[in-house]
């Protein structure tokens, strides 16, 4: 028998947008032909430094807000807004912004859209 899992409204949105299940939709802004979703991203357990590959990284400094484009839903443009934490690597003393694995930061779009 097929079991149905009950989703709350925020979980349904994440499912509809085909985002990872641990992403939280904080709120949505509707414009004429575009919806903007404001997301809270979970802090990753494994934080790998992109320079030395150490996982000795801590959150330090102020976050950066990024807006990316995502796959359209029902013909409406979708934008995602989230903040990227600034990370500091205690091994090589470099700092960088975390990037979710489903985001192409440089192209300002999600991998799904790409």
Nearest distance from C-beta of residue 90 to Zn ion, angstroms? 8
CA 27 → CA 17, 22, 30, 36, 90, distances in Å?
14, 15, 10, 9, 34
Segment 59 to 98, residues that bind Zn ion, using CB under 5 A: 89, 91-92
Say whether residue 25 binds Zn ion (CB under 5 A): no
Of 20-28, 34-42, 50-58, 75-83, the segment contacting Zn ion by CB under 5 A is: 50-58
Q: How many residues bind Zn ion (CB under 5 A)?
A: 7
Whose Cβ is closer to Zn ion: residue 81's or residue 92's?
Answer: 92
49 contacts Zn ion (rule: CB under 5 A): yes
Grouping H, G, I as helix, E, B as strand and the rest as coil, residue 59 is strand
Residues that bind Zn ion (CB under 5 A): 49, 51-52, 54, 89, 91-92
């Amino acid at each position: 028998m097929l079991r149905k899992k009950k989703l709350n409204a925020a979980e349904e949105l994440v499912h509809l947008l085909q985002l990872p299940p641990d992403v939280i939709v904080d709120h949505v802004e509707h414009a004429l032909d575009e919806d903007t979703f404001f997301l809270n991203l979970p802090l990753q357990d494994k934080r790998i430094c992109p320079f030395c590959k150490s996982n000795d990284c801590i959150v330090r400094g102020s976050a950066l807000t990024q807006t990316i484009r995502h796959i359209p839903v029902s013909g409406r443009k979708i934008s995602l807004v989230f903040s990227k934490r600034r990370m500091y690597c205690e091994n090589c003393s470099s700092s960088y912004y975390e990037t979710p694995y489903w985001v192409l930061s440089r192209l300002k779009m999600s991998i799904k859209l790409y």
